[in-house]
Every structure is written in C-alpha cells, then in structure tokens.
C-alpha cells in the first residue's frame, strides 16, 4: 500500500476499531477484533464522524479549494447522509459541529463557529489529516502553514487552541512523511509549536505536558474529547507502541473518546510503521470500501 493509503486506512480502521467502545471507562472492556454494536447500534467496521469528515475534506481538496462547498458538504453529511457509512444522516455529530452546521443551514454559510475557550472539543483535529497530507511538500512553512491550517480548523472550532493542536498534528504528519521516526517527529513539532506559541503565549503552558508526553504514565493520560487531552492520548499511544495494531489497541483501550483517539493515532501509526498489521478482513468490513479506495486514488492523483 502507498504511504497515503497507510495514513487514510490507518485512520479509518482506528476509528472503526474504537466506535463500539466509545464513552466506556478505561479497563472495563477488551477489544481484539473488529466488533460491532456496543456504544452505537452499528455493525462491525462502521466508521464515524472522524472518517466521514476526513473523506469529505479529501473530496473538497481534490475539487479545488472551495470553503463554502466544504461547509455545504458537512451540512449534507450531518442532515442528508452524504459520506455516512449507510447514506442516513450522521449518527454521531459533535456538539460544537452540530451547532455551527445548524446555523449554516438556517442563517447561511457565512456564519462563524463558536470561539469561546470551552468550545475546544476535538472536532477540528479529527478532520485535519487531509490538510496535513495536502500541505506537505508545497513550500508552506511557519506562519503561512499555520494560517492555512487555521482557516480549516476555524470552520468548526474558532478558538486558537484548536488551531494550535491541528498545527502540531500537521507538523508531525509532515515529518513522518519524510520518513523521520515518531519520537523525532514529535520533537520537531514541539520546537515549531514553541515558536508559534510566542504569538499566543496565553496558551503556552497548556502544551507543557504535550512536549514531555513520554514522561507520563498511562494513569496520567485523560483520553477525553477535549482537544488537548485527545492530542496527548494520541502521541502517548504512538510512542508506547512498536507497530500499527499495538498503537490503535493502546489508543482504544484508554477509554472515553476511543474512536477519535483511535483514528488520530491510526493515521500517524500508518505513516510511522508503514504497514497496517491487521487482518485483511478488517479492510473488507469497512462500509463503502470501494468508494474509499477510489477517493484515495483520486487524492493521490491530485497530490502529484
């Protein structure tokens, strides 16, 4: 499989692996296979909002950057089943995203997302992987790259913290694409984010733990849907694994926001380990497998 396939399937499989145990408390369950039902009444292999919004963003990038079309596509996903696993309206839209989508539908696409400090769930972070893949090797660095990421993050999460987390994840993806190992990719991203935080110093101390995430024990990792907790859980899972399956299993067994943490870890692990060591059957269980395959091919073509 290509490196882009590893990232996209790595993300999607991590999402589907975590869906049945979302919201569960840590150490109250064990999943080894791709199972269904559980937290959501959906069949095994079902991917959720994380993958759906990733696919929609990929499609939008292929067509050529059109932010209003992207917003409309998110509306169609939430309400009319565009890029959902079963063509029904999405089963799991986050609070902040649902709020802005409803305003886009009611008051127009110019409406802005909430930007208060408490609207910092992981809904921007969960759809940033395509932006990270898209911006790699395009001479976008520093402030220019930051502003590019910010434009996409802010569509649903207007507070700067969400953008800073998306920027960090993007930097890690870029280094992994270069073939640099996970630990060193994180060090590079930490340095670049530290530089950026000089402009946003009121946020700086919130990233202290992230910069030394490997020093923390499992009990210190919160794994909630708060964007900082999510990012910490993702990097901790990546650093405490030696292959793809181990990475998503570590992530999904942290509890709470298992699908998003599984997905974000899976995307990075697919890039870092270059091989998705899960049964072939897992791929076949993914709804819309052929659509996903076709989308990846078109995305790769557009990247050239």
Q: Does 203 bind Mg ion (CB under 5 A)?
A: no
Q: Does 49 bind Mg ion (CB under 5 A)?
A: yes
Q: Tell whether 250 is in a known binding site.
A: no
Q: Least CB distance from residue 49 to Mg ion, whole Å?
A: 4
Span interacting with Mg ion, options 181-189, 204-212, 256-264, 286-294, rule CB under 5 A: 256-264
Q: Does 257 bind Mg ion (CB under 5 A)?
A: no
- Cα-to-chain-centroid distance, residue 219: 23
Work out the number of other CB atoms within 10 angstroms of the CB of residue 43. 17
Question: Which lies closer to Mg ion via its Cβ, residue 48 or residue 185?
Answer: 48
Query: Which one of 244, 259, 262, 295 is in contact with Mg ion (CB under 5 A)?
Result: 259
Q: Please, what sign has the CA dihedral across residues 201, 205, 206, 211?
A: positive
Q: Tell whether 259 is in a known binding site.
A: yes
CB 21 within 8 A of CB 3: no
Span interacting with Mg ion, options 41-49, 165-173, 199-207, 230-238, rule CB under 5 A: 41-49
Q: Tell whether 50 is in a known binding site.
A: yes
Q: Tell whether 260 is in a known binding site.
A: yes
Span interacting with Mg ion, options 50-58, 69-77, 80-88, 136-144, rule CB under 5 A: 50-58
Question: Which lies closer to Mg ion via its Cβ, residue 189 or residue 252?
Answer: 252
Q: Least CB distance from residue 141 to Mg ion, whole Å?
A: 31
Q: Tell whether 215 is in a known binding site.
A: no
Q: Least CB distance from residue 298 to Mg ion, whole Å?
A: 24
Question: Which lies closer to Mg ion via its Cβ, residue 98 or residue 274?
Answer: 98
Q: Tell whether 220 is in a known binding site.
A: no
Span interacting with Mg ion, options 79-87, 142-150, 185-193, 255-263, rule CB under 5 A: 255-263
Question: Which lies closer to Mg ion via its Cβ, residue 59 or residue 259?
Answer: 259
Which spans of this chain sit near Mg ion (rule: CB under 5 A)? 48-50, 259
Annotated binding site: 48-50, 257, 259-260
Annotated binding site for Mg(2+): 48-50, 257, 259-260
């Amino acid at each position: 499989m290509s490196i882009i396939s590893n990232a996209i399937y790595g993300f999607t499989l991590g999402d589907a692996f975590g869906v049945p145990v979302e919201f569960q408390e840590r150490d109250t369950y064990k999943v080894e296979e791709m199972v269904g039902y559980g937290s959501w009444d959906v069949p095994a292999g079902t991917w959720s909002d994380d993958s759906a919004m990733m696919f929609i963003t990929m499609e939008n990038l292929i067509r050529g950057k059109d932010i209003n079309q992207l917003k409309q596509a998110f509306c169609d996903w939430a309400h009319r089943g565009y890029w959902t696993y079963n063509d029904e309206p999405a089963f799991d839209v986050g609070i902040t995203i649902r709020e802005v989508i409803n305003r886009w539908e009611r008051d127009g696409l110019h409406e802005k997302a909430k930007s208060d400090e408490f609207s910092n769930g992981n809904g921007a972070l969960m759809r940033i992987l395509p932006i990270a893949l898209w911006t790699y090797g395009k001479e976008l660095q520093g402030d220019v790259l930051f502003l590019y990421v910010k434009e996409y993050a802010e569509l649903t999460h207007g507070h700067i913290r969400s953008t800073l987390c998306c920027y960090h994840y993007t930097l890690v993806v870029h280094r992994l694409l270069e073939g640099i190992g996970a630990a060193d990719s994180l060090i590079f991203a930490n340095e670049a984010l530290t530089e950026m935080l000089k402009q946003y110093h009121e946020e700086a101390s919130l990233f202290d733990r992230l910069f030394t995430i490997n020093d923390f024990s499992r009990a210190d990792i919160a794994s909630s849907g708060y964007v900082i907790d999510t990012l910490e859980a993702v990097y901790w899972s990546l650093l405490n694994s030696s292959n793809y399956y181990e990475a998503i299993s570590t992530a999904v067994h942290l509890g709470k926001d298992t699908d998003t943490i599984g997905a974000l870890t899976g995307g990075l692990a697919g890039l870092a380990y270059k091989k998705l060591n899960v049964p072939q059957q897992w791929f076949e269980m993914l709804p819309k497998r052929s659509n996903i395959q076709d989308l990846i091919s078109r995305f790769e073509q557009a990247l050239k």
